[in-house]
């Protein structure tokens, strides 16, 4: 089955909600639809999906920001997830390649991401794709 990478659309909300659940961020389709609307209105965000056989089998977000540390912009990957039944078949690699192409097209000088310590499989994946581990993430939930 061929895998197509395309921009997410509002009617993808239910399938993206399922994938976000697999990533550990469960959400209702309606809520995901509202997030898609906000991201769709942003000039500095792009949400890409992988489609195979009429189903969405993966997702990645790219966010571009200005930087004080670098002359050019930096791109951050987010929400990378491949459907459980399709992992290990190259979908993640294809999604990250598309995100990297987007970052290059926007003249970014850095592509980076944060990942939880527990996601050891993802760490191996990122290394296989040429990413270097360069830091730690600290987070504070604001309520
Ligand atoms: C991490 C993830 C996105 C990788 O996507 P994928 O489609 O399964 O990965 P690919 O098939 O494209 O693998 C690319 C390479 O990474 C390596 N790799 C991928 N997943 C791996 C794992 N769990 N353990 C070890 N190596 C792995 C493979 O060896 C592969 O190399 P190859 O092409 O030479 O065989 C996917 O496994 C996933 O959704 N995991 C759960 C969610 C998650 O952790 N997301 C990342 C959040 S930061």
Substitution site in 52, 63, 78, 88 for ligand 1 pocket (most atoms within 8 Å of beta carbon): 88
Query: Does the pLDDT of residue 67 top 90, yes or no?
Result: yes
Q: How confident is the model at residue 62 (pLDDT cuts 50, 70, 90)?
A: very high
Burial class (CB in 10 A: 0-12, 13-18, 19+), 96: buried
- Provide the token pair at 104: 């290059």
Q: How confident is the model at residue 1 (pLDDT cuts 50, 70, 90)?
A: confident
* Cα–Cα distance, 56 to 39 (Å, whole number): 18
Residue-level pLDDT at 74:
98
Output the residue whose Cα is nearest ligand 1's atom 33. Answer: 90
**Protein residues with CB under 6 Å of any ligand 1 atom:** 23, 80-82, 87-93, 115, 119, 121-122, 124-125, 128
Q: How confident is the model at residue 39 (pLDDT cuts 50, 70, 90)?
A: very high
pTM to 2 decimal places: 0.97
**How many residues would you count in the chain?**
143
CA-to-CA dists, residue 125 to 28, 39, 40, 71, angstroms: 29, 26, 28, 29
């Amino acid at each position: 089955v061929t895998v197509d990478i395309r921009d997410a659309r509002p009617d993808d909300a239910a399938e993206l909600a399922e994938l976000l659940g697999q990533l550990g961020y469960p959400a209702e389709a309606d809520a995901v639809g509202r997030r898609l609307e906000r991201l769709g209105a942003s000039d500095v965000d792009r949400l890409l999906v992988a489609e195979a056989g009429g189903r969405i089998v993966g997702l990645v977000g790219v966010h571009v920001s200005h930087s004080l540390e670098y002359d050019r912009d930096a791109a951050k990957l987010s929400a990378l997830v491949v459907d459980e039944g399709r992992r290990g078949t190259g979908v993640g690699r294809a999604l990250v390649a598309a995100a990297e192409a987007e970052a290059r097209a926007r003249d970014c000088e850095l592509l980076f991401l944060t990942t939880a310590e527990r996601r050891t499989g993802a760490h191996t994946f990122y290394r296989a794709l040429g990413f270097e581990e360069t830091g730690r993430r600290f987070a504070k939930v604001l309520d």
